[in-house]
Amino acid sequence: MVEDKKIKKETPVNFAVIETGGKQHLVQPGDKIRVEKLEKPQKGDVLVFESVLLVSKKGKLEIGNPYVKGAKIKGKWLAEIRDKKIKNVRYKSKTRQYRRQGHRQIHTQVLIGDF
């Protein structure tokens, strides 16, 4: 005897693709993302991302050309984070001259809220 197996339908996932700092980020509500440094607001301030390239909400997919009209993603500013130090050395062989340089990129951590 064969048992009937119920097929579970997956609940639709809400996600979006936003553009900030020249990069694209795939986000869902509740995600913590690191973006290029934004103007420093106070901790807990709400940020609004208006350059939304794609939105999937309740199973409906909207693709922008280039951006989705009227779509806004809200996020909460959490902190500024500094990356690991990148070390660069430039060396000239015949003169034995070298120059060291270091750089630490600053990122902003954002908690994604509702769409």
Predicted confidence (pLDDT) at residue 6 exceeds the cutoff of 80: no
pLDDT value at position 59?
82
Mean per-residue pLDDT for 20-34? 94
How far apart (Å, rounded) are the C-alpha atoms in residues 18 and 25? 5
pLDDT value at position 43?
74
Q: Are 115 and 73 in contact (CB under 8 A)?
A: yes
What pTM, to 2 d.p., does this model score? 0.76
Q: Over the Cα atoms of the chain, what is R_g?
A: 22
Question: What CA–CA distances, in Å, run from 60 to 11, 12, 15, 63, 95?
Answer: 12, 9, 10, 10, 64
Predicted confidence (pLDDT) at residue 2 exceeds the cutoff of 90: no
Predicted confidence (pLDDT) at residue 41 exceeds the cutoff of 90: no
Q: Supply the mean pLDDT for the chain.
A: 88
Predicted confidence (pLDDT) at residue 58 exceeds the cutoff of 90: no
